[in-house]
Amino acid sequence: MDVWLWILIALAAVLLIGIAPVLLLGYILYSKLLVRTSKEIWNRGPSDPSDPEYVQLYEDGMRWRDAHLSVKEDVHIENDGLNLYGEYYDLGAKTAAIILPGRMETCYYSAFYAEPYEKAGCNVLTIDPRGHGLSDGKYNSLGFLEYRDVIAWAKFLHDTKGVEKVFLHGVCIGCSTAVFALTAENCPEYVAGMVAEGMYVNFNESFRIHIEERGHRYFPVGPAALFWLRLFGKADAVHDGPLKRIPALRKPILMLHSRMDQYSLPDKAELLYEVCGSPEKELVWFETGTHSRIRIHTEENRAKFDAAIGSFLTDVLNSDEHKQAEV
């Protein structure tokens, strides 16, 4: 038999015996974490009913929602061929905040973050990201595609609801989405800034920490899962993300971070702050509170969290008014 045929057979054997099983396991992991296979997955219910702190966060948000039903409007837009849904709370302001939740979360979860914006005099839009809640979509793209929906929602608020300034509040993956939106070439000027809670440098690092925390080896199945993410979700979670994009950020940003954050590590938050290109940036530290749980952890955290957002919005809006007066 020709030697090259033997070489091809050997390579095929290596592929089938070695690489193919890894890719298969990677696809299973990817599908479990970042693909929505039915509307029952990532619906508007609580994503982790076994966690008491999470349940408290979710229920606090629902209490705020229930108390504001008189000003709530169910809203809908279309973008990228997808029907997207949310809930808009018109509190009579000309400024609004869009809450961008993390993986598996929807507008109901996001209501927990509405209170500090209400206190600061903002309307609030909570959304079902694509592939979540009532919205269309199958893949979670970690902000690589979702940022386009956020810009569409901002245009909806400005053009349809008369909102003059829009702020973005990101939680975990929502931070990545906000950074992508604010650094996009087509981001409208009226999208005025962002608040980030628990921002990671890229999804790859957070993903690795999650896997290793559960006693599993990250290599080779973790990278294999990210291969499928790149193929279907159009997301380069290894080389791209907030760390790459944030140097181009020019709009104001408030970073809220816990020194106990086990997935978006504190030293990486300092790195993100250092390389951030915004001339108006602030990093507020909390000594307690796990990832995405800063505000719910203690009453002291809640008060500090809300006050930081209120001061940030006041400073940005006053600065904008001063710039307009100078012109």
Average pLDDT over residues 158-169: 98
Residues 163, 169, 173, 179: is their CA dihedral positive or negative? positive
CA distance 251 to 283: 15
Query: Can you give the pLDDT at residue 161?
Result: 98
The residue among 111, 182, 166 whose CA lies nearest residue 317 is 166
What does residue 15 show for φ and ψ, rounded to 5 degrees?
-60, -50
Average pLDDT over residues 103-110: 97
Query: Can you give the pLDDT at residue 322?
Result: 47
Among 127-131, 267-271, 318-322, the least confident range: 318-322
Distances 5 to 2, 13, 308 between C-alpha atoms, Å? 5, 12, 67
Residue 325: pLDDT band (50, 70, 90) is low
Tell me the CATH number for domain 49-202+240-326.
3.40.50.1820
Instruction: Evaluate whether 308 touches 315 at the Cβ level (below 8 Å).
Output: no
Query: Can you give the pLDDT at residue 159?
Result: 98
Which tokens is 304 given? 């500090």
State the helix-helix crossing angle for 146-161 and 173-182, rounded to 10 degrees.
70
pLDDT digits (tens, 9 = 90+) for 187-200: 999 999 999 999 99
Average pLDDT over residues 13-40: 83
Residue 16: pLDDT band (50, 70, 90) is low
Residue 182: pLDDT band (50, 70, 90) is very high
**Percent of the residues in the chain that have a pLDDT greater than 70, as a whole number:** 92
pTM of the model: 0.94
What does residue 64 show for φ and ψ, rounded to 5 degrees?
-60, -45
Instruction: Evaluate whether 161 touches 98 at the Cβ level (below 8 Å).
Output: no
Query: Can you give the pLDDT at residue 80?
Result: 97
The residue among 117, 100, 114 whose CA lies nearest residue 165 is 117
pLDDT digits (tens, 9 = 90+) for 230-276: 999 999 999 999 999 999 999 999 999 999 999 999 999 999 999 99
Among 20-29, 35-44, 157-166, 252-261, the least confident range: 20-29
Mean of per-residue pLDDT scores for the chain = 93
* Alpha carbon distance, N-terminus to C-terminus of the chain: 82
